[in-house]
Amino acid sequence: MEKEMNFFDLCVACGRAIGRACVALWHALERMIRLTYRYWYIVITLVVLALACAVYLTRKDNITYRVNAVAMLNGASIQQFDQAFAPLQTKHLLPSEAPIGQYLYAKQATHFKTFRVIDALDDGTADFIDFKHKIKLTDTLNVPMKDRLCIQFCIKTRDMALVPEIEQALLATLNSNAAMQQSYTTYLENLREQVAFDHRQAVKLDSLTSAYYFQNTLPTNANDHGVYFSGDRRVRLFLNEIYKQQEHMKLMDYRLQLATAPVVLENHFAVDPKPKIGRLTCMILFFLMGWIGACLLAGLIDRRKEISAWLKA
């Protein structure tokens, strides 16, 4: 019969497992320090070679920088954009006449990626970008936006003059997609109708308020909610409706101004001043790799007699 385990027993078991792991790690570190002292010439040689490789890989001509921009989708869906963006990541289905092709094949632009833009307040405004892909689709607080994506790629040596050329070539390649062009045409027609309707509604509200202000008599109930005081007159105005209509109209005008293509950028591509993998980070990683590798080699040499006896047995 299996013994049941309560929460306290589970915590004790987890604590013991963590303790055993820490002890084993400490013993392994002690063993590596002894091997380093005993076979210092092997460790120093491999560590120096590892650091030399790190310096070579992080030379000025080989350092890459991330370039980011937020793209707005005018009518196109996320799925349509992913289908048009996939050839830039694989290079297999990219047409030879694509404007971005020359930069991809020359490796002037590499590692194309997309990240979801998150609207945390549900107000239609981008709040942050999910660079680590931690936001789940079931999250009701941090909702991915359906009309915005962050586009990222890498360049070498922070060639700022090359970024505008890559930007134009990238947008030209994406906007030539037939499916997104069709969605954009329908979206643009509906957006123009929406903007015209909003302007008509704003004029109607303004006319209704003006007529009520200049033609109506005083309200019978002076303490009624929503009364607007203007001098000696107390007149009900449609202030809330006017403010809401003005905000919505400005938003639609802004969207119409940006709706010049299926994919547009709200801001130009910006180069991250911090390299993707810095020299210091790379040297630390290679130092650890060289030290661990040297300790493994030293351990094999230290037990060469036991290994030889085992092979001969």
Q: What is the CATH number of the domain that holds 112?
A: 3.30.70
- Examine the pLDDT at 1 and tell me if it is beyond 50: no
71 and 143 together in one domain: yes
Domain that holds residue 285: 8-58+278-303
pTM, 2 dp: 0.71
Q: Do 112 and 196 belong together in one domain?
A: no
Q: Quick one: 118 and 213 in the same domain?
A: no
The yes-or-no verdict on residue 268 having pLDDT over 80 is yes
Residue 312 lies in a domain: no
Report how far residue 273's alpha carbon sits from residue 55's, in angstroms, rounded to the nearest whole number: 20
Q: Is residue 240 part of a domain?
A: yes
Q: What is the pLDDT of residue 235?
A: 47
What is the model's pLDDT at position 238? 64
- Residue 308 to residues 39, 301, 303, Cα–Cα distance (Å): 20, 11, 9
Q: Based on the domain organization, do 32 and 128 belong to the same domain?
A: no
Q: How far is CA 134 from each of CA 78, 123, 129, 137, 237, rounded to the nearest angstrom?
A: 18, 21, 10, 10, 47
Q: Does the pLDDT at position 313 exceed 70?
A: no
Q: Is residue 311 part of a domain?
A: no
Q: Provide the pLDDT for residue 279.
A: 83
How far apart, in whole angstroms, are the C-alpha atoms of residue 193 and residue 156?
45
Number of domains in the chain: 3
Same domain, 99 and 150: yes
Confidence bin at 107 (pLDDT 50/70/90) = confident
Residues 96 and 214 in one domain: no
Same structural domain, 95 and 227: no
Residues 120 and 268 in one domain: yes
Confidence of residue 2 (pLDDT cuts 50, 70, 90): low
Claim to verify: residue 168 and residue 223 sit in the same structural domain: no
Shared-domain flag, residues 158 and 271: yes
What is the model's pLDDT at position 232? 45
What is the C-alpha to C-alpha distance for residues 190 and 162, in angstroms, rounded to an integer? 37
Residue 192 lies in a domain: yes
pLDDT-based confidence at 8, cuts 50/70/90? confident
In a domain, 308, yes or no: no
| 86 belongs to a structural domain | yes
Q: Looking at residues 91-99, what average pLDDT do you find?
A: 78
Same domain, 126 and 221: no
Q: Evaluate whether residue 114 is within a structural domain.
A: yes
Average pLDDT over residues 279-298: 89
Q: Work out the average pLDDT over 6-32.
A: 87
Same domain as 194, residue 143: no
Average pLDDT value for the chain: 82
Radius of gyration for the alpha carbons in the chain, expressed in angstroms and rounded:
32
Q: Using the predicted structure, report yes or no on whether residue 100 has a pLDDT greater than 80.
A: yes
Q: Which of 210, 296, 198 is nearest to 250 (CA)?
A: 198
Give the C-alpha separation, 306 to 91, whole Å. Answer: 52
Cα separation of 235 and 127, whole Å? Answer: 40
Is the per-residue pLDDT at 229 higher than 50? no
Question: With bands split at pLDDT 50, 70 and 90, how would you rate the model's confidence at 150?
Answer: very high
Domain assignment present for residue 313? The answer is: no
